[in-house]
Structure 1
Amino acid sequence: MPELPEVEIVRQSLNKKVRNQKIKKVIVRNHKLRLKIPANFESFLKFQKIIKIKRFSKYIIFCFLNGSYCLLHLGMTGTIHIINNNKKNFITNASFYSSPTLPKKHNHVEIIFKNLKIIYNDPRRFGFFEIIKDSSLLKKKFSKYGPEPFQSEFNVKYILSYFSKKKRTVKNFLLDQNFVSGIGNIYASEILFLSKIKPHKKAFLIGRKDCERIVINSKKILLKAIKEGGSSIRDFKNTSGKKGNFQKNFNVYERNGLSCKRIGCSGIIKKKIISNRSTFFCNLCQL
Structure 2
Amino acid sequence: MPELPEVETTKRGIEPYLEAKRITDIVVRNASLRQPVTANIAECCKGQRILSVSRRGKYLLIATANGNILIHLGMSGSLRVVPAKTPAQKHDHVDLVVGKQAVRLRDPRRFGLFLWSEEELAEHPLLKYLGPEPLDDAFTGEYLWKMSRKRRVAIKNFIMNSHIVVGVGNIYANEALFMCGIRPTRQAGIISRADYERLATNIRRVLEEAIRQGGTTLKDFRNEEGKPGYFAQELQVYGRAGEACSCCGETIRSKVIGQRSSFYCSKCQK
Instruction: Give the counterpart of 2:177 among 175, 180, 192.
Output: 192
Query: Partner of 1:282 in structure 2?
Result: 265
Query: Partner of 1:221 in structure 2?
Result: 206
Partner secondary structure for residue 71 of structure 1: strand
Q: 1:206 to 1:103 in 2, by over 3 A?
A: farther
In the alignment of these two chains, the number of paired residues is: 268
Partner secondary structure for residue 104 of structure 1: coil
TM-score using structure 2 length: 0.93
Check conservation: 2:4, 2:57, Cα contact below 8 A: yes
Residue 33 (str. 1) matches residue 33 (str. 2): yes
Matches within 5 A, 1:1-287: 1-64=1-64, 66-84=65-83, 104-134=89-119, 137-141=120-124, 142-234=127-219, 238=223, 244-262=229-247, 265-287=248-270
Q: Offset at 1:233?
A: 3.0
Q: Offset at 1:237?
A: 7.5
Q: Offset at 1:114?
A: 1.2
Q: Offset at 1:130?
A: 2.2
Aligned-partner Cα distance in 2 for 1:103–1:258: 41
Q: Offset at 1:50?
A: 1.0
Cα distance per residue 1:63-90 (max 9 Å; x no partner): 11x152111011101111211369xx8x
Check conservation: 2:159, 2:165, Cα contact below 8 A: yes
Aligned-partner Cα distance in 1 for 2:123–2:84: 38
Q: Offset at 1:279?
A: 0.6
Aligned-partner Cα distance in 2 for 1:214–1:67: 40
Q: Which runs of 5+ in 1 are unaligned?
A: 90-101
Check conservation: 1:235, 1:245, Cα contact below 8 A: no
Aligned-partner Cα distance in 2 for 1:200–1:218: 17
Check conservation: 1:266, 1:284, Cα contact below 8 A: no
Q: 1:236 to 1:5 in 2, by over 3 A?
A: closer
Q: Offset at 1:132?
A: 2.3
Q: Which runs of 5+ in 2 are unaligned?
A: none
Check conservation: 1:229, 1:242, Cα contact below 8 A: no
Q: Offset at 1:118?
A: 1.6
Q: Offset at 1:234?
A: 4.8
Q: Which amino acid aligns with 1:188?
A: A
Partner secondary structure for residue 50 of structure 1: coil
Q: Which amino acid aligns with 1:38?
A: T
Aligned-partner Cα distance in 2 for 1:238–1:156: 31
Cα distance per residue 1:18-63 (max 9 Å; x no partner): 2111111111112221111222111011111112210111000101
Percent identical among aligned pairs is 36
Q: Which amino acid aligns with 1:80?
A: L
Cα distance per residue 1:169-222 (max 9 Å; x no partner): 000011110011011010000010001100010111110121011110011000
Q: Offset at 1:157?
A: 2.2
Cα distance per residue 1:112-135 (max 9 Å; x no partner): 22121121111111111222215x
Aligned-partner Cα distance in 1 for 2:192–2:131: 20
Aligned-partner Cα distance in 2 for 1:85–1:144: 36
Q: 1:168 to 1:26 in 2, by over 3 A?
A: same
**CA RMSD of the aligned region, Å?**
2.0
